[in-house]
Structure 1
Amino acid sequence: MQWEIVVGLETHTQLTTESKIFSGASTAFGAEPNAQACAVDLALPGVLPVMNKAAVQRAIQFGLAVGAKVAEHSVFARKNYFYPDLPKGYQISQFEIPVVQGGTVSFLLGDQMKTVRLVRAHLEEDAGKSLHEDFAGQSGIDLNRAGTPLLEIVTEPDMRSAEEAVAYAKTLHTLVTWLGICDGNMQEGSFRCDANVSVRPKGESKLGTRCEIKNLNSFKFLQAAILYEAQRQIEIIEDGGVIKQETRLYDPDRNETRSMRSKEDSEDYRYFPDPDLPPLMISPEWVEQVRSEMPELPGQKQARYTGDLGLSEYDAVTLTASRAMTDYFESALAVAGADKAKPLANWLLGEFSASLNRDDKTPAESPIAPELMAALVKRVVDGTLNNKTAKVVFAALWEGKYSDVDACVKGEGLEQISDSGAVEKMIDDVLAAHPGPVAEYKAGKEASFNFLVGQIMRAARGKANPAQVNEILKAKLS
C-alpha cells in the first residue's frame, strides 16, 4: 500500500521586545538562572499582568505580511495545566479569538510554488525551563523565559512531505526575521517548531491519527523527526496496530521519536477568558499605521526582480532567502546598474555564497564590500576579465590583498588580451602547432574545437577573451 504523510506545523516565534509580554522583566538571553524573573513572572500574590504594546505591534506586522485578518477585538485566556516551570499553574494565551486569523505562506519547492494556509497566529507567554544536568539526580527550574512573548503560528495540515515542511519553516523563518519581529536564533529557542504528523493511504481524504513532536529547534531535526515518525506510524498500522494520539520528543542522537505524554485536546486545558486582562482592541488606524511602516516583503521583491530585472524565479527566491543577502545585492546593484543584475546574481549565488559558507560568514561580514563586488562584475561584463581571471581577482579581494579591483587586476597581471591582432597571432601559432586536431575538426569532430580553444587560452595564460577567441577561431577554421 502507498502511504501519504500529512503534516501541520505550530511554530513558536519569540518576539523581539526588550521586556516580557505581561511584565517589565528583561528578555535578554544568557542571564544567570532566575535573574530575570520578576514578581509578575513568579506569580506572587496580588500581581497583575500588563500587556506589552510592542508585542501586539509585531503580531500586527505578521498578520499584514501573510495577508491575514488582524482582529479588532481579541481575547486572552488561561490555559490550565500543571508543570514545575509554570509558576501560575496556567499559561496566558489566546484561544477562541486570536489576534491574527487566516493568511497564507507561499514558497518554492523544487520548481513548484506551494502555498500553506494558516489557521491563526496568537500571542502567548512562554513557560520557564526545567534543567536536568549537574544537579546530582535532581532537576532545577529557571524562570528567566517565563513570560517571554511568543507568537504561535499554526498551519492547516497542508504539507505532504518532510521536505515541504522544512521549506515552509525556512520561508517562515525568513519572513519573521525579515520583518524584525523575531531574531530567528534557533539554538537559543527563539524559533522552534512542533510538528503534527499523521499518515493515511494515498488517495484517502480522511486524516489519520496525529502525533505531535515537540520543540524541534533545527531544520535538520525537523526533517529527520517527520521522516522517522511517519515511518513509525506506517509500520504500526501495517502490523495491525493503532496509532495513539500523543505528544512525542525527538532524540537526535538516536534519530527516533519517543513518547512524552498522551496528547491533550483543548477541553483538557479548561480554557476561560483571563479576568485580569481586558479584551485586546486594535483600531483600524493602528493597523494602517503599521502597514505604512512595513518594509518591502520577500514576495514583493521577488516579483520586482523577475519583472523589472529579468531574473529567474530561482534567482529571485534565493536572493531574498535572507534580508542580509538582499541588502547586499541591492547595494551592489545600485553601483553596478540594473543591466548587470543577472551577472551580479550569478556571482552572489555562486562564488560569493560558496565563500560565505566555507568561512561561516554572513553577507554583512563579507570581506568584499558591495561596491567592490559591483566593480568586479563590471570588469567581467566589459571584457577586462574572463570568468577564470575574475575568480583570481575575487580570491585576492576576499583575502584582503587589495581594496580596488583595477589595482588587483594590474597587480596580479590579469589584464585580458583583447587586441585582435595579438589574439590572431596566438591562434595562428596554435593552429600551426596542432595540424591533427585542425584536420579532425574539419572532418566533423567537434571536440577538437574545444581542444584548440584550450591550447589558445593556455598560450594566453587565461587572459584572452573566450568569446573573441571562439569567434576568430571559427572564422579561421571555416
Structure 2
Amino acid sequence: MTTTTTSKLIRGYEVVIGFETHAQLATESKIFSRAATAFGAEPNTQACAVDLALPGTLPVMNRAAVECAIKLGLALGSHIAPESIFARKNYFYPDLPKGYQISQFEIPVVQGGEVQFFLGDEKKTVRLVRAHLEEDAGKSLHEDFIGQSGIDLNRAGTPLLEIVTEPDIRSTEEAVAYARELHKIVTWIGICDGNMQEGSFRCDANVSVRKPGAPLGTRREIKNLNSFKFMQQAIDYEIQWQIDEIEDGRAIQQATVLFNDATGETRAMRTKEDAADYRYFPDPDLPPLQIPSAWVDAQRAQMTELPRTMAARFVADYGLPEYDATTLTQSKAMAAYFEAAAQASKQPKLASNWIMGEVSRRLNAGDLAIEASPVTAAQLGALIGRIADGTVSNNAAKQVFEALWTGESADVDAVIEAKGLKQMNDTGALEGIIDEVIAANPDNVAQFRAGKDKAFNALVGQIMKASKGKANPQQVNDLLRAKLAG
C-alpha cells in the first residue's frame, strides 16, 4: 500500500480542498475563565464576568486546554512550540461580547504534522499547517415564529483547537475520509467528545477548482459542516457549482458559504475576509504561553497507544492484514473488543472476520455502537473457539450467534447442546454415511473418476444432507477423496 498524490478530474477540473476544523476541548471550564462548559444549560447561565468582557476582568489560561493541545501535537507528529503567542482577532458580531476573539496567529502552539488514512487500499497523507488554541463565540438564536433574535453566551469562551490543513485533498471522498480520521484521533486521545450535533467537532471546507497545472483557483469556504453526510453533499454541490460558473464565463468570488441540507445547496453568506481584515495584534492581557520540554515529556508518558501504533501491533502480534488492523482500530472500543475476542479464542484472524462481518452487520442494522453489542467479546471468543475445534460448523455458528444476540441464552455450549448443532466428527459414523452415498450414486462416482470435479461436490452435498448438516465439511472432503481414490 503506497501513499498517492494522484487527482481525480471532474469534468476536466482538479479539485483542491483544505480543512479548518474546530475541536471543542474536553475541559470542565472555559479557556480563560472558570465558567462551566457543560452542554444544554439554560441560555446565559454559564457566562461569567470574564466571558462577558466586563471592565476590570482579566483572562487566565486553562492548563487543561494547553495539555489537550500538547496531546494533539504528539498524536500528529507536530512541533509543539516552546513559546506561543495569543492575539486578538477583531470583528464585530452580536455573539462576540468583547468585540474580538482571543486566538493565536503568528506563533501557534502546534505547528506542522500530518494525518494519514486509507481510502480503499491507498494510503493518503494530509499535511497540517497548524493547530492553535482559541475561544469560541456565543450563539445567535433566531425565533422566526415571533420575529425575534436573541444571544446565548454560554459558549463564549469555550476552549477550541482550530486544526488547519494544507490544500492537499483532491476529492470529496478524501475530504470525508480525512475528517473521519481526525475525528477518530481527537476522540481516541480524549481531547474532544466528537459530538458533531452539539457542535463539538465542526469542519469548514475550503473548496476550489482549477485546470490541471494551473495556479490555485479562488476558494470558497463552506462553514460549520456538522455531519459527514452533509459534508459530502456540500462539497459535491460546491464543486459542480464552481465548475458551472467557470464554464459560463463567470469568475469565482472568494466567499464564506453555508450548506442548506433541506435543498442540498450552498449559498453565499458573506464575502470572505483575509487575515488583514481582522487586524490581529498580540493580546496585552496574556503573556506568551511557555511549554517547557518537561511538560511535553510528561504528557508523552501519559499518552494512550495511538490508533496507527495499535494497528501496526495487530499486524505484528496477531498476523492480521493491514486492512483488518486499520478497520479494527476505528475506535478504542472496537479495538478492545477484538483483542478480548482474539485472546479468548486464540484465533485472531477468525475473530477479525466475525467482527468485521457478522458483528458489524448486526450493529449497523440496529444502529448500535460496539459497546452496546448484545454479544460480548468473551461470548464471541467462546463461539469462535468452538468453530476452531470443530464442535460447530460456520453455518451452525451463525445460529448460535443469533441465539446469543437475541438473548435466548448467554452460554455458547448450552445453545449448541439445546439446538443439536454439534458437528459430527466421529470418523466411523461418517464413513458409514459416505459408503452409503457412494453406493447410491454410481454415476457421480464415475464422473468424478473421469475428471469432473462438479460430481465430487454433488457427492459432498448428498453426504451433508444425509448427516442433516452436522458432518464436518473438511473431514467429509478428506474421507471422501480417500475412498474415491481407493
**Same fold? TM cut 0.5:** yes
Structure 2 runs not aligned, ≥5 long:
1-10
Matched, 1:354 2:361: yes
Query: Helix, strand or coil for the counterpart of 1:154?
Result: strand
2:391 equivalent in structure 1? 384
2-side partners of 1:132 and 1:328: how far apart? 44
The 5 Å alignment of 1:334-373 reads 334-337=343-346, 340-373=347-380
Shift of 1:451: 3.3
Greater mean alpha carbon deviation, residues 298-307 or residues 433-442 = 433-442
2:280 equivalent in structure 1? 271
Query: Helix, strand or coil for the counterpart of 1:40?
Result: coil
The count of residues paired between Structure 1 and Structure 2 equals: 475
Matched, 1:170 2:175: no
1:333 equivalent in structure 2? 342
Greater mean alpha carbon deviation, residues 301-310 or residues 113-122 = 301-310
Shift of 1:213: 0.2
2:421 to 395, 414, 418: 414
The 5 Å alignment of 1:290-301 reads 290-301=299-310
Matched, 1:88 2:95: no
Matched, 1:179 2:185: no
1:447 to 437, 442, 454: 454
1:196 equivalent in structure 2? 206
Greater mean alpha carbon deviation, residues 92-101 or residues 325-334 = 325-334
2:110 equivalent in structure 1? 100
1:231 equivalent in structure 2? 240
1-side partners of 2:50 and 2:466: how far apart? 77
2-side partners of 1:399 and 1:233: how far apart? 51
Matching residue's letter, 1:153: I
2:226 equivalent in structure 1? 217
The 5 Å alignment of 1:2-81 reads 2-81=12-91
Greater mean alpha carbon deviation, residues 383-392 or residues 438-447 = 438-447
1:394 equivalent in structure 2? 401
1:259 equivalent in structure 2? 268
Shift of 1:403: 2.0
Greater mean alpha carbon deviation, residues 138-147 or residues 178-187 = 138-147
Matching residue's letter, 1:227: D
1-side partners of 2:256 and 2:55: how far apart? 33
2-side partners of 1:205 and 1:220: how far apart? 30
Query: Helix, strand or coil for the counterpart of 1:389?
Result: helix
Query: Helix, strand or coil for the counterpart of 1:139?
Result: strand
CA distance change for structure 1 residues 457 and 133 in 2, over 3 Å: closer, same or farther? farther
Structure 1 runs not aligned, ≥5 long:
none
Query: Helix, strand or coil for the counterpart of 2:194?
Result: coil
Fraction of identical pairs, as percent: 65
| Alpha-carbon RMSD | 1.5
CA distance change for structure 1 residues 451 and 188 in 2, over 3 Å: closer, same or farther? farther
The 5 Å alignment of 1:70-149 reads 70-133=80-143, 136-149=146-159
Shift of 1:349: 0.7
Shift of 1:249: 0.5
CA distance change for structure 1 residues 128 and 430 in 2, over 3 Å: closer, same or farther? farther
Matching residue's letter, 1:311: L
CA distance change for structure 1 residues 42 and 468 in 2, over 3 Å: closer, same or farther? same
Residues 118-168 of structure 1, C-alpha deviations (whole Å, 9 max, x = no match): 000001111111122355122121111111111111000001000001111
2-side partners of 1:471 and 1:316: how far apart? 33
Residues 176-217 of structure 1, C-alpha deviations (whole Å, 9 max, x = no match): 110011111111111110000000112x15211100000001
2-side partners of 1:451 and 1:244: how far apart? 69
2:8 equivalent in structure 1? none
1-side partners of 2:331 and 2:165: how far apart? 22
TM superposition score normalised by structure 1: 0.96
1:302 to 307, 311, 326: 311
Query: Helix, strand or coil for the counterpart of 2:143?
Result: coil
